[in-house]
Chain A
Amino acid sequence: MLKYIGKRLLMLIPTMLGIALVVLIIIDLTPGDPARVLLGTNATEEQVEELREELGLNKPFLVRYWEFVKNVCQGNFGSSIMTQRPVFSEMLMRFRYTLVLVVFGTIFSTILGIPIGIYAANHTHTWKDSLAIFLSLICVSMPSFWFALLMIRFFGVKLQWLPISGIEDWKGWILPCVAMALGLMALIARQMRSDMLEVLRQDYITTARSKGLSERKVVYRHALKNAIIPVIMVIGGVFGSSLGGSLITEVIFSIPGLGQYIMTGLNNRDYPVIQSGILIISTLFAIIILIVDVVFALVDPRIRSQYTRRKKNKGGKSDDGTGKEAKKANATA
């Protein structure tokens, strides 16, 4: 298992190289020029050209790629063209905000979504299930900013219970986290419900009942342990994608998080910010996927035994297997 994790971490290196390449290609193909943005429309063509030379934008593509990779390897993620501040420490500072948002959003949505899903699955064909499906359908299909605005109106403006923007104390976090969590919660609840229904139909559930186990034991031990496996995948995905997807919430509640940072970078064609920002977020995402895979193996003995078998026969074959998986992770990222 440890060996497997090690291998997967090693696989991160080619993954990151690939991401860096893709990001640089996209930047290269996108119209717009940071020098022009920086100097404004009044600057002459010569001034712009001079600045481009200074920023190293005129170097050949492969040279730029090589320099970027080399710098990253030395722990140097570059500095913003606009603010001159180093990207890494800037991101680290903002990362706190996004992390709180994403972590609490995910926790909220998980601890609410899972029980709702289980409950609905155990009350199919009753109004309780229908209500749960209906509400989760609304939550999934309505854009999160709409919820955010509704909540701001109600709790912030009308009742004045909670601040409507900015983060001064813990109260400021409540609305953004809830706004973040609602849609995700519905996503998790729906996944949980359908998995649970699927599992409750299985023969081994009948076997469990035939032993005289209580309904609680049947549902929460035998069924849940099986049904939770695909839900873990969804939670991992939710966590990863909300790292990038927290942008809307950050903008609405004026939270200085990662999403905002990269958005600003994109608007200004601030290449170091874009390059390093995307690279860092992608790497985080790949790590999260790795964690999900490990949790998977911990829950499901069938997957776990695959890894142990791999450990036993150290053939070239096993390398192929991990390679493919990492590529898959890469593709999802």
Chain B
Amino acid sequence: MAEKLLEIKNLSVEYHSDEDILYAVNNVNLTLEPGETLGLVGETGAGKTTIAKSIMRILPAAQAEITSGEILYRGENLLALKEKEMQKVRGNKIAMIFQDPMTALNPVETVGYQIAEAIKRHNKISRNEAADRAGDMLEMVGIPRERLGEYPHQFSGGMKQRVVIAMALACNPELLLADEPTTALDVTIQAQVLDMMRGLKEKLGTSVILITHDFGVVADFCTAVAVTYAGEIIERGSVDRIFNNPQHPYTQGLFNSLPSLEATSRRLKPIKGLMPDPTALPPGCRFCERCEYATEECAKKAPEIYEVEPGHTVKCFRARRDD
């Protein structure tokens, strides 16, 4: 089997506030093959962004703490790297597109500077060459290069998002962490941005972890899916298997709550209840309280990860019984 590009093992992340400890990510295991595109889905607060920031090691140092785990990138543990070495990885081999384009750009620097800076940092080239390549990147995302000298406030939200994308792709990263890159955009631009990312993926062979709420985008863009719930990955498999044979009651619930084109008459069935409070997680299965199949065992003991078919894993006791 080919070398894995990324292998997250037992990752746990906590946020500390004055009194509480918030368990944002709990024992997450996740692997990514080279060239793979993984959709990371899950409701708000499930810990998706936290996982991505852990990979980049850009969690807010004052509050966040990675309490356990390894993040192997081509076999090398990123969490053990010195800060200096990690800087060579960030923005170069692994890049991230941020969730909120409105706040992701520095308001007092020109867009051109902000893109060129990333290029200059990781390549031995002159300032002019870097600016030139920044212009190329801007054109690639569909913004005329004349606008290099403008400031973020002169761009619309969608254009800012493109700038953020251009910035992330500036050094041809091997792995791109795209945190809801299209949520802030309208549908046509969304499609354009996805097309653009797809093109880059094909051209550069970039692997992508795409964080999104949108199953349509996942179906369209990804090869694999990982479903997060309360800081855990509760199901992972290929897009085909997850869409056609969802195993975890939560995943099934997610699909049931989607409006579908064929069955317009069927009422939507949103999943009842709320995600458990991440400062006081239940001892058993995290989904237990909202689950229609829950048993006594579920409330007491957390399920392990079971493989239901090759490459398709589920964190639910029902999957065990199916064996």
Residues on A lying within 8 angstroms of B by beta carbon are: 124-125, 201-204, 206-215, 221-222, 225-226, 229, 299-302, 305
Contact = CB atoms under 8 A, between A and B. Distances in A.
Nearest to B117: A211
Interface stretch (B25-33, B91-99, B196-204, B310-318): B91-99
Contacts, number: 81
Given A212-B121, A213-B121, A124 B62 contact: yes
Contact of A212 (B60, B62, B89, B107): B89
A299 B90 contact: no
Contact of A211 (B83, B90, B100, B108): B90
Contact of A225 (B83, B108, B153): B108
Interface residues of B, number: 35
Interface in B46-94: 53, 56, 58, 60, 62, 83, 86-92
A207 B87 CA distance: 13
A213 B117 contact: yes
A305 B106 contact: no
A300 B108 contact: yes
Nearest to A202: B103
B98 A207 contact: yes
Contact of A301 (B89, B117, B151, B168): B151
B104 interface: yes
B9 interface: no
10 contacts: A207-B104, A207-B105, A207-B106, A209-B90, A212-B118, A221-B109, A222-B109, A299-B108, A301-B108, A302-B107
Contact of A204 (B104, B110, B118): B104
Given A204-B106, A225-B109, A211 B121 contact: yes
Contact of B167 (A211, A222, A302): A211
B106 A222 contact: yes
A197 to B, nearest CB: 9
B98 A302 contact: no
Contact of B103 (A204, A222, A302, A305): A204
A71 B57 CA distance: 69
Contacts of A221: 109
Counting chain A CB atoms within 10 Å of each CB, which of B62, B107, B153 scores highest? Answer: B107
B164 interface: yes
A118 to B, nearest CB: 16
A203 B103 contact: yes
Contacts of B90: 209-212
Contacts of A213: 87, 91, 117, 121
A125 B62 contact: yes
B151 A212 contact: no
Contacts of B153: 301-302, 305
B108 A210 contact: no
Interface in B146-197: 151, 153-154, 164, 167-168
Given A211-B121, A213-B91, 5 more contacts: A124-B62, A226-B106, A300-B108, A302-B151, A305-B151
B213 interface: no
Given A213-B121, A305-B154, A203 B104 contact: yes
A194 to B, nearest CB: 15
B121 A226 contact: no
B160 to A, nearest CB: 11
Contact of B98 (A206, A215, A299): A206
